[in-house]
Amino acid sequence: MPIRHLFAIALALLACWAAPAPAALAQTEPGPATKPPVAPDPAVIHPMVFYDAHGEANACGPGCSEWIAAEGKIDSGTAARLQQLLARLKGARPPLFFHSPGGSAIGSISLGEVIRARKLTVSVGHTVPLTCGRDPKNQNSCDAEIRAGHSIEAKLELLTAMCNSACVYALAGGVIRLIPPWVTLGIHDIGFDPAIAKIRHPSALAMAVAKSVTQTRLHSYIRRMGIDEGLLTEASATPFTSVARLTRDDAARFGIDRREFGETVWQLIDKPRPAIVKTFFVRADNGERRYVNAFVSVSCVPQLGGRAVALLARQRPAADTEAVVGQPAVSIRVNGQDIRLARAASAKLYLWSGRLPLTTLDAISDEAAMVLPGEELGRQQGPSGEVSLAMTGFSAAYAKLKVCAQETTRAHSTWVATGMPLPFSDPNIRTGLGPPAALPGWSKDQDGTAWSLMFTPPSSRRQE
């Protein structure tokens, strides 16, 4: 076979893209190590696009409001497109956030080498434009602005992002690699895409040679990037028609991200109900896993008339026996006051919840700290095991959350004045926390009368 055909086959060997389950907010049930790929969002099937994005203060982390969006499939021209954007940035090096199902393994090596040469910080995050759309068929498409090199106003969604297959190898090129809490990476063996090679029926020998060449290049590249070659061993053990998830333990073991603590800034989410959320991970002192993902949230619940629901949740080992509801209670310390939370029933998380007046949080500034009991996060008891969370972004997110309470108060006054029945009396809505039973992401409390929001992280290959 001509050398050009062999090269084409090498380029067509893909770390076949496969989208993870949506990274929204309860842990999946324990299952097999791999699962068939899920059809990805159409927005990421196109060739990877790079553009300069900007958002509000701390949009991409503490003190960070500008980043490089990297969205779509990796191909042989992806590295060149990044170089073009970096040339426009004239020496600026904002962090780069991947949202990609994967693509060409050879293309990912070239991309990772550009990232390393430019000494970029990389992470995983889905960039969502706010003033235009990413669908080229949309009349309000961002394409023209991106081609012109304009900065796009956007927000980052970490829990709906993916970095699978070849994306993991491109991510390895980062001088600093930051995997957000609850985010898992997808890996599997390389496969063959005849559409890229433009060869319908390559011989078995040509396929074997091309795969061997690609694997040799990947091993050399991974070593140069400081990543343990065990990553490739585990990837090759998973058929390219499936996807295995790398947990945070795996990310540390392979040297992708060895931080012992990481946290996001406080952010507002508006579905299925308004809430401000901070996700984080800590290294535990003992147990099945060395790392624990967790989150803290405060939700606006109209049915509670100006009161909020606070949640603390963390992953739990699958073998653990559920403790008695209500015990043990925990206290979150912030601004010199304790917010006490009771143990709630959950088959998938350690979960504590409590109600409080929203005004309790009025005096909390971004310079404050939230202190959590370490023993409930797999750490030793006492002050030395406590976990301190920064309040960066809290003020802005909390201000938006209070709008929910204010609107609820105004609506309640109107209903009382006009004698109209409260909408919460709908028979499909329970008392207590009260969302409709049909809403995804909500779970019934133990007594069957109230509903609460559950945090659903991506599935993981090794379940806790």
In the numeric block, which tokens belong to residue 133? Answer: 């759309």
Which residues does 409 contact at the CB level (< 8 Å), separation at least 6?
305, 306
Mind listing the pLDDT tens digit of every residue in the chain (464 residues)?
A: 443 443 343 334 444 444 443 333 332 322 233 444 445 565 567 899 999 999 999 999 999 999 999 999 999 999 999 999 999 999 999 999 999 999 999 999 999 999 999 999 999 999 999 988 877 667 688 888 998 889 999 999 998 899 999 999 999 999 999 999 999 999 999 887 665 556 667 777 877 888 888 999 999 999 999 999 999 999 999 998 899 999 999 999 999 999 999 999 999 887 767 889 999 999 987 655 689 999 999 988 766 666 788 999 998 765 565 555 556 788 999 988 899 999 887 777 888 998 888 788 888 999 999 999 988 888 887 788 899 999 999 999 999 888 775 655 554 444 334 443 333 332 332 323 333 333 334 444 444 434 344 434 434 334 33
Give the pLDDT confidence score for residue 164 in this predicted structure.
Answer: 95
CA separation (Å) from 86 to 13, 82, 146, 168, 400? 27, 6, 13, 21, 35
User: Which pLDDT does position 400 carry in this prediction?
Assistant: 87
Measured between alpha carbons, how far is 313 from 353 in angstroms, rounded to an integer?
9
Which has the closest alpha carbon to 140: 149, 129, 151, 150? 129
Strands (E) across 7-138 are located at 13-15, 34-35, 49-54, 66-71, 96-99, 103-104, 121-124, 126-129
Question: Which residues 6+ apart lie within 8 Å of 456 measured at CB?
Answer: 22, 23, 24, 25, 26, 27, 28, 441
Measured distance CA(283)–CA(260) in Å, rounded: 5
* Crossing angle for the helix pair 105-117 and 204-224, to the nearest 10 degrees: 20
* Predicted structure pTM score: 0.80
Note the pLDDT of residue 246.
Answer: 95
CA pair distance 185, 18, nearest whole angstrom: 11
Q: Read off φ and ψ for residue 396, nearest 5 degrees.
A: -65, -45
Which pLDDT tens digit goes with each residue over 361-373? 888 999 999 999 9
